[in-house]
A and B are shown apart, each in its own frame.
Chain A
Amino acid sequence: NAGVTQTPKFQVLKTGQSMTLQCAQDMNHEYMSWYRQDPGMGLRLIHYSVGAGITDQGEVPNGYNVSRSTTEDFPLRLLSAAPSQTSVYFCASSLRLAGAGYEQYFGPGTRLTVT
């Protein structure tokens, strides 16, 4: 049971390049999310998904696309990278617990630098 995995761990992009950050979970969780973490700003929600085929925008969705074709995978696409997207990206999945809320599990993060 690997939990939540993210690839790559580090990435450097040039302005205008596109790329996909991969996220996978093997816990059969319905809910998955992408966050970005910037110094002094905590974690901000980019996009989330409540199940395969269903996604929605979070606080800071501009410049990012997501899709959820399977329960396991939730990739985050940067369409045209900008220096403002330099950040650490965390993927998370969560399991709803009957009557007790839910538990959220985070991946190890991807550190992205856009030059």
Chain B
Amino acid sequence: DADVTQTPRNRITKTGKRIMLECSQTKGHDRMYWYRQDPGLGLRLIYYSFDVKDINKGEISDGYSVSRQAQAKFSLSLESAIPNQTALYFCATSQGSSYNEQFFGPGTRLTVL
């Protein structure tokens, strides 16, 4: 089984709808992250969490919110989806220090019509 899982893998929705993307991990890591990937822009950080009670905004948090329900679960919500939120979304986890690598989920492809 994959260490970092994301659901759904693909989602098509309409402008104005509320969407939740879920991430679960079995690695026992304390840190979790949400990124979006757009062609030519690399990965941009939306939110990150170092433990259940710690939530931090990344560089592009507007229009998004998150919930860390447990150490192993980190959800990303789009309260009112808009077309420019169409992107590939990745969840990642890491343990402890900044020199430790991040482990990525398989991604969720979201299309907002």
Binding partners A and B: no
Interface residues of A (CB under 8 A from B): none
Q: Residues on B close to A: CB < 8 A? A: none
